[in-house]
Structure 1
Amino acid sequence: MNKFEKNTRRKERYHVHLLAALVVSLLTVNLAIQFWPDIQRENKGLVFDAKGQNVIQMEEIEQTRQEKKKPAPPIPAPPIVVPDDVVLDDLEIEITDTSLTLEDPGNDTEVVEGTNTGNATVAARADKSPSPVRISIPEYTREARRKGIRARILIEVLVNERGRVSEARITELYLLNKDKTERERVTELGYGIEEASLVAARKHQFSPARQNGKKVSSYVTLTFEIGV
Structure 2
Amino acid sequence: MKKEVIDIIVSQTHYQHRIMGCIIVAQLIMISVFKFWPEQEIKKPAFIIPDNEAIIVEEMIVTRQANAPASPPKPQVPIPVPTYEVIEDEILDFPEMDDFQNADPLSESITTGQRGDEERISGNPDRPPRVTKIFEPIVPEEAKEASIKAIIFVNFLVNRDGSVKEAYVSEVRLYDDKGENYEVVQSIRYGLIEASLEAAYKWRFRPATEGGEKVGAYAQNSFTFGF
Which band: TM-score by shorter chain? 0.5 to 0.7
Q: Kindly, what percent of the aligned residue pairs are identical?
A: 33
Structure 2 residue 111 is the aligned partner of structure 1 residue 116: yes
Counterpart residue identity of residue 87, structure 2: V
Find the aligned partners of 2:175 and 2:182 in 1 and give their Cα distance: 5
The within-5 A match list for 1:42-57 is: none
Give CA-to-partner distance per residue, 1:16-68, whole Å, 9 cap, x none: xxxxxxxxxxxxxxxxxxxxxxxxxxxxxxxxxxxxxxxxxxxxxxxxxxxxx
**Following TM superposition, by how much is the alpha carbon of 1:140 offset from its aligned partner in structure 2, in angstroms?**
1.1
Contact 1:174 1:186 in 2 (8 A): yes
Q: Distance in 2 between matches of 1:158 and 1:194?
A: 17
CA distance in 2, matches of 1:91, 1:177: 29
TM-score by length of 2: 0.56
Q: Does 1:192 align with 2:180?
A: no
Is contact 2:92-2:132 (8 Å) kept?
no
Residues in 1 aligned to 2:96 and 2:129: alpha-carbon distance in whole angstroms: 9
* Cα drift, residue 180 of structure 1: 3.2
Aligned match of 2:23: none
Describe the shift of the 1:92–1:214 C-alpha distance in structure 2 as closer, same or farther (beyond 3 A). Answer: closer
CA–CA distance in structure 1, aligned partners of residues 154 and 160 of structure 2: 19
Q: 1: CA distance between counterparts of 2:205 and 2:124?
A: 17
Once residues 205 and 146 of structure 2 are traced to their aligned partners in structure 1, the CA distance between those partners, rounded to angstroms, is 34
Q: Which amino acid aligns with 1:214?
A: E
Shift of 1:94: 5.2
Equivalent residue pairs, number: 139
SS in 2 for 1:140: coil
Quote the residue 1:140 is aligned against: 139
The 1:176/1:93 distance shift into structure 2, 3 A limit, reads: farther
Aligned partner of residue 131 in structure 2, secondary structure: strand
Shift of 1:87: 2.1
Query: Which has the larger displacement, 83-92 or 146-155?
Result: 83-92
Whether the aligned pair in 2 keeps the contact of 1:156 and 1:168 (CA below 8 Å) is: yes
CA contact (8 A) 2:96 2:220 kept: yes
Query: Aligned partners of 2:189 and 2:217: how far apart in 1?
Result: 29
Pair 1:87-2:87 in alignment: yes
Distance 2:92 2:127 in 1: 20
SS in structure 2 opposite 1:136?
A: coil
Q: Unpaired segments of 5 or more residues in structure 2?
A: 1-80
